[in-house]
Amino acid sequence: MKDQPLRTTVIGSYPFPSWLEFASQHLEQFGTNEFTELQNDAVIIAIHDQMEAGLDVITDGEQSRLDFNLSFYGYLQGIKSNEKPLRVFGPPAHDQRGKHNITGELTAPRGLGVVEEYQRLVQLAPKGPTLKASVPGPYTLSGRLNPDSQYPDRYAITEALLPIVRAELEALMDAGCKEITVDEPSMSCYAYKEDTKRFVDIFNRTVEGVYGKIHLSTHLCFGNFKARAVGPRQYAPMFPDFLDMHVDEIHLEMASREFSELEIIQEIAKVKDVAVGIVDVKSYYIETPEDIASRVRHCLKYAPPERLSFAPDCGLSQTARWAARLKLQNIVKGVNIARKEVGV
pLDDT class of 54 with cuts at 50, 70, 90: very high
Q: Give percent of the chain above pLDDT 90.
A: 80
Calculate mean pLDDT across residues 223-252: 88
* Across 95-99, 133-137, 148-152, 281-285, least confident range: 95-99
Which of 30-44, 55-69, 70-84, 329-343 has the highest mean predicted lDDT (pLDDT)?
329-343
Calculate mean pLDDT across residues 74-87: 85
| Mean model confidence pLDDT for the chain | 93
pLDDT confidence of residue 227: 62
What is the rounded CA–CA span in Å between residue 332 and residue 334?
5
Burial of 240 (0-12, 13-18, 19+ CB in 10 A): exposed
What is the C-alpha end-to-end distance of the chain, expressed in Å? 15
Q: Are strands 130-131 and 133-136 parallel, antiparallel or unpaired?
A: unpaired
Burial of 277 (0-12, 13-18, 19+ CB in 10 A): buried
pLDDT confidence of residue 87: 80
Q: Are strands 249-252 and 273-279 parallel, antiparallel or unpaired?
A: parallel
Calculate mean pLDDT across residues 298-321: 96
Would you say residue 226 has pLDDT above 70?
A: no
Question: Structural domains in the chain?
Answer: 7-69+112-342 (3.20.20.210)
Residue pLDDT, tens place only, 82-103: 767 778 888 777 776 778 899 9
pLDDT confidence of residue 1: 63
Q: Are strands 100-107 and 77-81 parallel, antiparallel or unpaired?
A: antiparallel
Assign 279 to helix, strand or coil.
Answer: strand
Choice between 248 and 81, residue whose per-residue pLDDT is larger: 248
Going from the C-alpha of 59 to that of each of 21, 134, 215, the distances in angstroms are: 19, 8, 14
